[in-house]
A and B are shown apart, each in its own frame.
Chain A
Amino acid sequence: MTAFIELKNITKYFSHVVANQDVSFSIERGEVLALLGENGAGKSTVMKILYGLYRADAGEIFQNGKAAAIHSPRDAMNLGITMIQQHFSLVQAHSVTENIILGNVHGAIDREAADREVAALAAEHGFDIDPRARVGDLAVGVQQKVEILKAIYQKTRLLIMDEPTAVLTPQESDQLMKFVKNFTSQGNSVVFITHKLQEVMAVADRIIVMRNGMVSGNLRKADTDARELSRLMIGRELTNAAQVKTERAGGEVRLALDRVSVSDHGAVPSLADVSFEIHAGEVFGIAGVSGNGQQELCEVICGALTPVSGSIRLDGRAIETLNIHERVKRGIGYVPSNRHRDGLVMNMTMAENMLLKTSFDPRWLKNGFIDRKRLDAVSEKAIADYRIKASGPAAILRTLSGGNQQKVIVAREVDIGEKLIIFDQPTRGLDLGAIDNVHKIIRAERAKGKAILLVSTELTEILGLSDRYTVLYKGRLQGIYDRSALTVEEIGLLMAGYQLKEGGAHG
């Protein structure tokens, strides 16, 4: 029998990278196919081509052995293909029903009938969703269910999901896996785009590994193991994020938060009564599913947000009323998680980005003008020290790769953060070489006696680097723990909002 979908020699160029080159594989009926690879390996691109969002520069697609002309998502949907984007594609301001029927109705809309239809569909698949709820008000996990419902509403036979578990707690992920199993048992297919090996081993029937835009492996799960997959994915064997044994941090208290609260638009506090201390020479980790107050925590420390109550002290002096600029002067560096939005100006040069946070500092001035020689010298030094691949200080930041952009911001913040550096998801979207590099820098700065706050959704990163850590859930700390105090399962429960009690977890 011919494969449900067959991709042949797909090639795609973007203006800055070759996204896919000669990619060929098939998708069978009733299987869960994992598309495994590092960030930037071209997994999403090839699926977006299948879904008609991108057009391939070369290559063909066959359905049931027949050449399929897919020029738009509409064509793909008519063939029974649906794709859920990594960051979803929902209209936040509209209701669940409006999102589900978008593009699938004609003429006048009978709102009540549509609501009823969606409610019935949700009930059928065991989803607890109010069709009239505004999507923007729903938790991320629920938004994903809306996306899945939308696909089911379109009677899809192949569901492509891009990094679906990135926003979910371990428990929510399990639910999703159950749905996937159930969905494929009815003869439908699922493509799982992911970079997580454990996930692949848990759910996939077959695995396509991609590296640098090309297929580097096509295997049945039964015939392979994590070791082989990681070798195919990164070209070398994965070593476990080594826990470097170091002296217990014993420096004085550098940063102290005492009952800090931040209010979100008045109603729900996005940080509530957060208290912890970070010592000099200590890495303090913040684990948790993203969107639970991590960004607010970082911003309240760096000065972008003002707490409604509580105090923040740096070396014993209260800083909660100081603005960002004054805190920068006191030696607080901050590497934000969304570097494009919060940390960098993409259309400025590398040197100008180095200047961004300290443009008030007289050291950059000569006769009232910017001392360009000095700025260039500092930038050249950063390029050399951090091995940034850039043509020079005058390179426009946009032309650098993601990893090198991250190096620029890390170089700047390490320089600013003489006392404290906040790293919010510092390795998100980086390839393994770059991740390794960032980890080395964090360890080196810790060794210099700086206090480091590390926010990450990757548990291995938290456990590999932190001296102590906490879990954030809905703006509250779920206790503070030493590095080896808890198992991954226990942390997972904390991330989902459960409290740890003697002898197990309770809601």
Chain B
Amino acid sequence: MIVGLLSRAVLMSTPLLYGSIAEVYAERSGMMVTAIEGIFLIGAWAGFTGSYLTGSLLIGLIWAILGGLLLSALYGWITVFLRQHQVVTGTALNILAVGICAFFQRVIFGVPTTPLTIKPLPQLAVPLLADIPWIGTILFRQNILTYALYLLLPVSIFILYRTSLGLTIRSTGENPEAVDVAGISVVKVRFLTVLLAGIMGGIAGSFYSIGYLGMFADNIIGGRGWIAFAICFLGNWNPKGALIGTVVFGLAEALAIYMQSLGGQSFFPNELFIALPYLLTIILTISRRSYNVPAKLGEPYVKEN
């Protein structure tokens, strides 16, 4: 049972890690991607729709990336270039995303009589590694998107801390003027990290629809985008912290699903377990001393006035 729970936790962590790494990059450049919930949703919808219509999960994934990219580009245009408020813009886009997904779901599929489903990404056992007791089942019987993360995580750490691009991104969130004076376009850097968040967020969203559920529903994301957003804060704006955060939340979510399968009509508050990730976020937000917050997080860069 514990192995099953942990294996499930890794599964549930995967999209959160995609989302929170994207958020870490964006926030390190000073951009809170508050449209992340909407990006997740678009990703889930576009991923499902693409897969369903073409029969190819790969094409579905590409649709999800394009969907996330489109919404993040809109977000980036309004917040980076037009310098409008990040929270306000994100909220508007999240509402819009709900409308777009539900509306075009109807446009494309009409009102179906039976629920639409696809076969989700298959679980792939890695030869040899999958046979390691415990660990093999937990880490190496997952789907391709999880495996991609095993590579993506170290790469994202390396880029952020060991390359000129990472230095530029980190500097942009701390002191955009320094970046500007060094001859690098602040808006370009910020727009790029927002686009990156769109790509990663789109993949993360698609994980819920084509990654394991094999279907789409309006409430499929249910605040998971915000949890990825929160993990970025709680993980102290670095990918390693994000990893720890996602594992904790993945566990909480796996536990909630397990508890739900037990709980029924009784007085046992299985809702408590569903609320666990959210409660956890609140408790961690209160208790966590964040010392690494990018100095200019959320502030538009205005040069002339």
The answer to whether B303 has its CB under 8 Å from any CB of chain A is yes
- CB pair B305–A103 under 8 Å, yes or no, is no
Chain A residue nearest to B175 (CB atoms) is A91
Query: In the docked arrangement, what's the CA distance between A51 and B180, Å?
Result: 11
| A28 in contact (CB, < 8 A) | no
B144-202 residues at the A interface, CB under 8 angstroms: 158, 162-164, 167-168, 170-171, 174-175, 177-185
Cβ contact of A103, chosen from B168, B175, B177, B295, cutoff 8 A: B168
Chain B positions within 8 Å of A9 at CB level: none
Q: How many Å lie between the Cα of A160 and that of B180 in the bound state? A: 16
Determine, out of A93-101, A290-298, A325-333, A451-459, the stretch whose residues face the partner at the interface.
Answer: A93-101
Instruction: Identify A89's interface contact among B162, B167, B168, B181, CB under 8 A.
Output: B181
Partner of B170, one of A83, A94, A105, A111: A94
Q: Is the CB of B295 within 8 A of A93?
A: yes
Q: Is the CB of A14 within 8 A of B305?
A: yes
Question: What's the tally of chain B residues with a CB closer than 8 Å to chain A?
Answer: 23
Contacting residues, chain A, for B170 (C-beta < 8 A): 91, 94
Question: By DSSP majority rule, is chain A's interface helix, strand, loop, or mixed?
Answer: loop
Distance between Cα atoms of A89 and B171 in the complex (Å): 11
- Distance in angstroms from A139 CB to nearest chain B CB is 18
A30 to B180, CA, bound (A): 28
Given A92-B175, A93-B174, A53 and B163 touching (CB < 8 A)?
no
Interface mask (B284-305 → A, CB under 8 Å = 1, otherwise 0): 0000000000010000000111
CA A53 – CA B181 in complex, angstroms?
7
Contact call A53/B303, Cβ cutoff below 8 A: yes
A39 sits at the interface (CB 8 A): no
Given contacts A89-B175, A94-B174, A108 and B162 within 8 Å (CB-CB): yes
Binary contact readout A74-99 vs B (1 if CB under 8 angstroms, 0 otherwise): 11110000010100011111100011
**Residues of chain A within 8 A of B171, CB atoms compared:** 91, 94, 98, 102
Does the CB pair B305–A53 fall under 8 Å? Answer: no
| B-side contacts of A15, CB under 8 Å | 304-305
A54-B303, A103-B184 known; A85 and B174 CB under 8 Å? no
Which residues of A are found within 8 Å of B178, using beta-carbon distances?
89-91, 99, 102
Nearest Cβ in chain B — how far from A131, in angstroms? 14
Given A72-B183, A72-B185, A108-B162, A101 contacting B175 (CB threshold 8 A): no
Which of B167, B295, B305 is within 8 Å of A102, CB to CB? B167
* Given known A-B contacts A89-B177, A94-B170, A106 and B303 have beta carbons under 8 A apart: no
A residues less than 8 Å from B184 (CB atoms): 74, 102-103
Chain A proximity of B140: nearest CB distance (Å): 30
B174 adjacent to A107 (CB under 8 Å) = no
Contact B162 A91 (CB under 8 A): no
A74 to B164 CA separation, bound complex (whole angstroms): 16
A343 at the interface (CB under 8 A from B): no
Greatest chain A CB density within 10 A among B181, B184, B303 is at: B181
Residue of A nearest to B165 (CB): A107
The complex places the Cα of A93 from the Cα of B295 at a distance, in Å, of 9
Using A72-B185, A99-B178, A108-B162 as known contacts, say yes or no to A92 and B167 having CB atoms under 8 A apart: no
Please state if B180 and A73 are interface contacts (CB–CB under 8 Å): yes
Determine if B295 and A107 form an interchain contact, defined as CB atoms under 8 angstroms apart.
no
Q: How far is the CA of A235 from the CA of B168 in the complex (A)?
A: 45
Query: Does A109 sit at the interface, judged by CB under 8 A?
Result: yes
B167–A98 contact, CB under 8 A?
yes
Determine whether A186 belongs to the interface, using a CB cutoff of 8 Å to chain B.
no
B residues in contact (CB < 8 Å) with A: 158, 162-164, 167-168, 170-171, 174-175, 177-185, 295, 303-305
Q: Considering the complex of A and B, which 5 residue pairs feature the smallest CB-CB distances, nearest first? A: A74-B183, A103-B182, A73-B183, A89-B178, A89-B181
Q: A75-B183, A102-B178, A108-B158 are in contact. List 19 more A-B contacts (CB 8 A).
A: A16-B305, A73-B182, A76-B183, A85-B177, A89-B181, A91-B178, A92-B175, A101-B164, A101-B167, A102-B184, A103-B179, A103-B182, A103-B183, A103-B184, A104-B182, A106-B164, A107-B163, A109-B163, A109-B164
